């Protein structure tokens, strides 16, 4: 398999549209998330007001991020934990490796972490002789299939259960061939049994963090399976992977965001387990890790503070924008070729990788605006995608025909008389060509559109003329 890349977005999207198993799997998503989120939001009359407060909490925190990070770090250290600052993914990987080496780790269990994905941690650990074991069911499935997550909260959403059964049969040695793996419960029981031993054998547990709390120096993880808790409770060492923007001031502030998170993500009132972890095992504690480390990753984020893109750091990674995106719903997550897919990925990826590499993504949107409508943090995703399009154009990163076409259009639109004349002429021509069928089957320079559907023939003149007529009638 060729590595996925945002540079090949168009080919990858075209392939995804023709991928029958993927299309079947995506069908499961379209019926679930949207309806559940709607019901959960309707059931809580204060939901919209909570969104406004969530935005205010994050804006305040981001405007004082340096101070909150220092306050948080001080509390972590007071509680016996360690904070490691990493400028980029390579530095973060080396820090994790160093901790694993000093713990003489052979296997590492992992709770779900998008920062871990951003660091490309698993292949790096493997190359250094340490076996990472993903424990979130979805992450475990895709690890066996040598894939990356295709959704930020449902990583294996592109996989059908027959494919899960195949992966288990291939990798679980000692699995009797006659053991049925046809239904979900069979598969879950098999994964539970396999992973239970891995939890107990692991030397180090690595989790992500949904929030860091400055007031107490805590990290918070939110899961439904309980895998994150077993990951951070059973091994001797717990490593938390987090990025700068995860910090919030107080437990009360985290609570407001938690009231939004699960409802926006899965439509649950609350996820099953929300665990606030503060430091290592205390005197007298019969269980829990002896060491508690947090690796705090920048990876290009600090350069975006104070710019219009700062708003994207309000994101709490609920996945609602993916679930409601018609583009994501049609092609799934892998076609984007980036760690973060969907609308949030279209804004975040150019920031993390550079607009020259990820320029195709902010262009892959119809600007329907559903992502912004459902974003609990009211991130203006379409606006930020437009900013990236502008940055791409002014940095001359688009292909030449696109630049030429946009340039010509911009030249014409600044000359209204000429533009209207041209538009009237084009519309009259198209109306003439489509006069019999009422639509056009093909049109020069618009093959990308007409290859998949007919273009309705224009009726009744250009907008300007219609507008003028309406005004006169009044």
Partner 1 sequence: MSSRDAILGALRQRLDRDADGGKGAEAVAERLSAHRHNLIPQRGQRDRAGRIDLFEDYAAGADATVARVASAGDVPAAVADFLKRHNLPANLVRAPDAELDAIPWDSQPTLTLEARKAEEPDAVSVTAAFGAVAETGTLVTVSGDDNPTTLNFLPENHIVVLWADRISGDYEAQWSALRARYGDGALPRTVTLVTGPSRSADIEQTLQLGAHGPRRLHIVIVDERPEP
Enumerate residues 26-65 that contact partner 1 by CB under 8 A.
28-29, 32, 44-46, 49-50, 53, 57, 60, 63-65
CB of 366 to partner 1, least distance (A): 25
Order across the sheet with 82-86: list the strands: 82-86, 291-297, 237-243, 204-207, 107-110, 131-134
CB of 258 to partner 1, least distance (A): 8
Letters for 133-172 (x = contact with partner 1 by CB under 8 A, - = none) are --xxxx--x------------xxxx-xxx--x--------
CB of 416 to partner 1, least distance (A): 41
- Is the CB of 23 or the CB of 233 nearer to partner 1? 233
Q: In the range 108-137, which residues lie near partner 1 by CB under 8 A?
A: 135-137
Q: Tokens 């992973």 belong to which residue?
A: 195
Q: In the range 299-328, which residues lie near partner 1 by CB under 8 A?
A: 302-303, 305-306
Long-range contacts at 287-291 (CB < 8 A, ≥ 24 apart):
287/233, 287/234, 288/233, 289/205, 289/232, 289/233, 289/235, 289/236, 289/237, 289/238, 290/236, 290/237, 291/82, 291/99, 291/103, 291/236, 291/237, 291/238
Q: In the range 372-401, which residues lie near partner 1 by CB under 8 A?
A: none
Could you give the 3-state DSSP secondary structure of residue 82?
strand
- Is the CB of 126 or the CB of 285 nearer to partner 1? 285
Helix, strand, coil percentages for the chain (3-state, nearest 5): 55, 10, 35
Q: In the range 433-452, which residues lie near partner 1 by CB under 8 A?
A: none
Q: In the range 246-285, which residues lie near partner 1 by CB under 8 A?
A: 249-253, 255-256, 258-259, 266, 268-282, 284-285
- Report how far apart, in Å, the C-alpha atoms of 134 and of each of 25, 180, 208 are: 22, 24, 12
CB of 474 to partner 1, least distance (A): 45
Report the phi/psi class of residue 40: left, alpha or beta, with left for phi > 0 and alpha for psi in -120 to 50. Answer: alpha
Binding span for partner 1 by CB under 8 A among 166-174, 189-197, 367-375, 394-402: 189-197
- Is the CB of 188 or the CB of 406 nearer to partner 1? 188
Confirm if 267 and 36 have CB atoms less than 8 A apart.
yes
Q: How far apart are CA 38 and CA 198, in angstroms?
A: 38
* Nearest partner of 9 among 322, 466, 256, 333, judged by Cα: 333
Q: Kindly tell me which residue out of 68, 168, 211, 328 binds partner 1, with binding defined by CB under 8 A.
A: 68
- Is the CB of 6 or the CB of 149 nearer to partner 1? 149
CB of 472 to partner 1, least distance (A): 50
How many helices and strands, by DSSP H and E, does the chain display? 23, 12
Q: At what angle do helices 137-144 and 184-201 cross, to 10 degrees?
A: 90
- Is the CB of 68 or the CB of 328 nearer to partner 1? 68
Q: Which residues of 104-115 are buried (b: 16+ CB within 10 A; e: fewer)?
A: ebebbbbbbbbb
- Is the CB of 268 or the CB of 454 nearer to partner 1? 268
Q: Kindly tell me which residue out of 69, 108, 360, 427 binds partner 1, with binding defined by CB under 8 A.
A: 69
- Is the CB of 161 or the CB of 424 nearer to partner 1? 161
Q: In the range 2-31, which residues lie near partner 1 by CB under 8 A?
A: 25, 28-29
Q: In the range 194-213, which residues lie near partner 1 by CB under 8 A?
A: 195-196, 199-200
- Is the CB of 153 or the CB of 335 nearer to partner 1? 153
DSSP 6: G
Neighbours of 62 (CB within 10 A): 18
Alpha helices in 216-294 (DSSP H): 227-233, 251-265
- Is the CB of 11 or the CB of 66 nearer to partner 1? 66
Q: In the range 220-249, which residues lie near partner 1 by CB under 8 A?
A: 224-227, 229-230, 233-234, 244, 249
Binding span for partner 1 by CB under 8 A among 126-134, 295-303, 439-447, 448-456: 295-303
Q: How far apart are CA 328 and CA 322, in angstroms?
A: 6
Residues touching partner 1, count (CB under 8 A)? 97
CB of 55 to partner 1, least distance (A): 12
């Amino acid at each position: 398999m060729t590595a996925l890349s945002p540079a090949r977005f168009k080919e990858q999207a075209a392939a995804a549209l023709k991928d029958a198993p993927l299309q079947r799997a995506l069908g499961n998503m379209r019926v679930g998330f949207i309806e559940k989120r709607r019901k959960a939001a309707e059931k809580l009359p204060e939901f919209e007001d909570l969104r406004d407060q969530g935005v205010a909490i994050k804006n305040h925190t981001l405007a004082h991020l340096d101070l909150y990070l220092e306050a948080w770090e001080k509390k972590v250290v007071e509680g016996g934990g360690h904070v490691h600052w990493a400028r980029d993914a390579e530095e973060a990987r080396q820090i994790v490796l160093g901790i694993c080496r000093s713990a003489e780790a052979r296997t590492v269990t992992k709770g779900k972490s998008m920062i871990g994905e951003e660091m490309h941690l698993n292949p790096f650990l493997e190359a250094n002789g340490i076996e990472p074991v993903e424990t979130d069911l979805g992450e475990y499935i895709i690890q066996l299939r040598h894939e990356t997550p295709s959704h930020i909260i449902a990583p294996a959403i592109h996989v059908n259960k027959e494919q899960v059964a195949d992966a288990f049969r291939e990798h679980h040695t000692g699995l009797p061939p006659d053991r049925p793996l046809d239904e979900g419960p069979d598969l879950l029981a098999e994964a539970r049994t396999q992973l239970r031993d891995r939890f107990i054998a692991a030397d180090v547990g690595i989790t992500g963090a949904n929030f860091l709390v400055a007031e107490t120096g805590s990290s918070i993880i939110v899961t439904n399976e309980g895998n994150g808790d077993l990951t951070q409770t059973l091994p001797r060492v717990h490593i938390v992977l987090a990025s700068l923007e995860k910090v919030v001031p107080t437990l009360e502030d985290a609570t407001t965001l938690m009231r939004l998170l699960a409802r926006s993500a899965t439509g649950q009132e609350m996820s099953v387990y929300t665990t606030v972890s503060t430091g290592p095992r205390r005197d007298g504690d019969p269980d829990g890790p002896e060491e508690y480390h947090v690796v705090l990753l920048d990876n290009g984020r600090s350069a975006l503070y104070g710019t219009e893109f700062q708003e994207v750091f309000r994101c709490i990674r609920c996945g609602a924008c993916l679930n409601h995106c018609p583009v994501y719903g049609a092609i799934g997550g892998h076609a984007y070729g980036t760690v973060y897919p969907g609308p949030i990925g279209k804004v975040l990826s150019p920031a993390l990788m550079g607009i020259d590499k990820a320029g195709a993504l902010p262009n892959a949107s119809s600007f329907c605006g559903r992502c912004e409508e459902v974003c609990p943090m009211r991130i203006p995703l379409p606006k930020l995608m437009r900013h990236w399009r502008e940055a791409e154009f002014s940095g001359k990163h688009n292909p030449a025909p696109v630049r030429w076409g946009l340039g010509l259009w911009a030249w014409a639109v600044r000359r209204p008389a000429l533009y209207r004349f041209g538009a009237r002429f084009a519309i009259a021509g198209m109306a003439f060509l489509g006069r019999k069928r009422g639509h056009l089957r093909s049109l020069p320079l618009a093959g990308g559109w007409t290859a998949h559907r007919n273009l309705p023939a224009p009726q009744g003149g250009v907008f300007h003329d219609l507008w003028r007529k309406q005004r006169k009638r009044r």
